[in-house]
Copies of this chain bind each other. A is one copy, B any other.
Amino acid sequence: MSRPLILVTNDDGVNSKGILALIEIAQTFGDVFVVAPDGPQSGKSHAITLEKPFGKNFLLKTDSLTKYSCTGTPVDCVKMGLNMLMDKKPDIILSGINHGSNSSINVIYSGTMAAAIEGYMHGIPSIGFSLLDHSEDADFSACKQLLAKIVAMVLQKKETLCLNVNIPKLPASQIKGYKFCRQSNSNWQEKFVPADDNSDYYWMKGSFVNHDNSPDTDEWALDNGYVSIVPVQFDFTSYKTLETLKNIEL
């Protein structure tokens, strides 16, 4: 069997520590093709670039590693990889490792998770990885073995799925294991801080508010020292509300 072909992307940019760690993990499994933003694209969600062209920049090619950066969003990177840059469809897409959490409602704002979901929409097994450490210099060494197990599991299953994986900021020895879980119910509350005294510009500063501490949620898993794994889908329909609406006459 030929080595798997792995598309790697992220939202922190092609030179971030997180993606370098993920490329290392990916290279132990197969041939790696990187298409990642040329700079930070956090909070870009599923945004795509329609109003202007966007660019690619060839960085590197060896036998087992090809690397491009892209001036677009994380989802643009996946679309450009799949539809223009790659000769064949990848066996799996890995996105991250994100500097900071994408658990709970963060999934909806995250460029890292949007890239994984975009891959899944094209029928490709996809995993987004995030470490609960925002700092540019975060330590990803504990992640490598933990994440490799998940990649191995997904490659072996040969099932098209999408996973949102978050890793607590703990030494490897203190991580208790993995929990398959659901997204907890939460939101962000924002404050607006004036950028300076004489302008109408503001920094948006958010506080995360979790409304849901049930033991089957990702927030519970992370708070209790587990790696959280939430399988993700892209059907926004509220079937529960649909049932209640069906008898309404308009």
Contacts and interface: CB of A to CB of B under 8 A. Distances in A.
B122 A117 contact: no
A230 B242 CA distance: 7
A233 B229 contact: no
A76 B203 CA distance: 11
B180 A246 contact: yes
Nearest to A50: B43
Interface residues of A, number: 78
Interface in A112-131: 114, 117, 121-122
Top 10 nearest A-B pairs (CB, nearest first) are A231-B241, A45-B46, A233-B238, A53-B195, A53-B201, A45-B45, A182-B237, A231-B238, A55-B201, A47-B47
Interface of A: 40, 42-51, 53-57, 71-73, 75-76, 79-80, 83-84, 105, 107-109, 114, 117, 121-122, 149-150, 153, 159, 161-162, 164, 177-178, 180-183, 185, 187, 189-192, 195, 199-204, 229-242, 244-246, 248, 250
